[in-house]
Amino acid sequence: MAEVSRREFLHRSGIGAGGLLTLSGLSALLAACGGEEETASNSGNGAAKVNPKPKIGLSSSPQASYLPVIAGPIMAGSKFGLNITKSDITTFDSSTTLTQSTLSGQVQIAGQSTVAQLLLIDRGQPFKIFATYSMNDDFVIAGRGDVKTIAQLKDPKVTVASDSPGGAGQAVFDAMLKANNAGFLVDGIPKKVIIESSGERTSALASGDADATVIHIVQANAVNKETGDVNIIAKLYGPDGEPNFMKEAYAARTDWLDENIETAAAVTASVIQASRDLTKDYASFEAACKQLIEEPPPAEELQELFEIIKSNEVYPVDGGLTDERVQYMIDLGKEEGIIETDLTPDKVVDRRVMERALEMVGS
């Protein structure tokens, strides 16, 4: 896969500060797509067909905490007419390049943070969300040394690493701050650095370049094994977490969805089926992690993660795309100053896909 840096793409494609396509950039991309993408149309005569290999793109490399995003299409997809392998799913270097590829038709189904999907719709881009593959997650706010409380994140001497606005990491961070009644969001932290990858934020915490950050619990545990001084300040999951959080979602261009409901439903059904299969027992979960993830966590950490997934609404075993979750994410985006228009679940979700997917999988 040819890689395009975010800075280079912003310059070339009419995207303004914050990674948003301007109207001229959007028009150019839509014109460039030309209608040559392959589809398995739902229109015309005869029964709707499933395209066995829809073009799926992701904005980040899959991890065990949201394994269904690839375990669904790859391991459960054949049950619903799909024939997808790891090589059929493309991981992009940023949300921006994923969006470009989806608008141009190189990608048909885009998986990224829910807030990023809402941001695109808010700016008038022709997308609809149709599924989630990651609701809650094993994210935590982790500090080192004397940094042990949320209040300390406001200390000008404490360096806090966060994701960029619109990224899943910042949305997760803000959700934990809200759940713990912090009285401020990431925007209000005086000394912060933007590091978009959770792996790189983990390295920053380990090296001392950051005093606190938002990362996965398994990443925090790994740093603690090295340093012995990591404090878990807050958790997204558990009794003090946020039950309506919806971390990641699939979306597609509305014109593609209109012609490919059955294909989108097959992908969604595969994610639901995989979510059910993976949470049945640890052996199945462990085997899938080893098969699909390049560097799965050590066995001890994987077992801990499995218990978190089983005990919390992490995988969408029943679909998960509720109005309550979508509205929570819209409200969070508004509080973050990212969502500007009057979005509602009706405006951002294509419910036809989930309804058909639940018929396929058997709700």
User: Which DSSP state fits 72?
Assistant: I
Strand 20-21 vs strand 15-16: parallel, antiparallel, or unpaired? antiparallel
pLDDT at 295: 86
| Per-residue pLDDT tens digits for 60-92 | 889 899 999 999 999 999 999 999 999 999 999
**What is the C-alpha separation between 205 and 189, in angstroms, rounded?**
17
Structure token pair of residue 359: 């018929």
Cα 110 from Cα 104, distance rounded (Å): 12
Q: Angle at the Cα of 197 (from 163 to 177), degrees rounded to 5?
A: 35
Cα separation, 7 vs 312, whole angstroms:
38
Q: What is the pLDDT of residue 12?
A: 39
Report the interhelical angle of 299-311 vs 282-292 (nearest 10°): 120
Domain 139-235: state its class.
alpha beta
pLDDT at 289: 96
Asked whether this chain's domains 6-136+245-361 and 139-235 adopt the same fold, the reply is: yes
Q: What is the pLDDT of residues 262-274, one digit of tens each?
A: 999 999 999 999 9
Cα separation, 37 vs 302, whole angstroms: 39
pLDDT of residue 167: 83
CA neighbor of 38 nearest in space, from 46, 26, 50, 25: 50
Contacts of 304 by beta carbon, 8 Å cutoff, 6+ apart: 217, 218, 221
The tens place of each residue's pLDDT in the chain, 363 residues long, gives: 323 334 333 333 444 434 444 434 443 433 333 333 444 444 433 457 999 999 999 998 898 999 999 999 999 999 999 999 999 999 998 888 999 999 999 999 999 999 999 999 999 999 999 999 999 999 999 999 999 999 999 999 999 999 988 788 999 999 999 999 999 999 999 999 999 889 999 999 999 999 999 999 989 999 999 999 999 999 999 999 999 999 999 999 999 999 999 999 999 999 999 999 999 999 999 999 999 998 888 898 899 999 999 999 999 999 999 999 999 999 999 999 999 999 999 999 999 999 999 999 986
Residue 59: name the closest of 37, 91, 81 by CA: 91
Q: What is the pLDDT of residue 47?
A: 55
293: tokens are 């993830």
- Which tokens belong to 7? 């800075």
* Structural class in CATH, domain 6-136+245-361: alpha beta
pLDDT number for residue 48? 74
Indicate if the alpha-carbon torsion angle 107, 113, 116, 122 is positive or negative: positive
pLDDT at 23: 38
Extents of the domains making up the chain: 6-136+245-361, 139-235
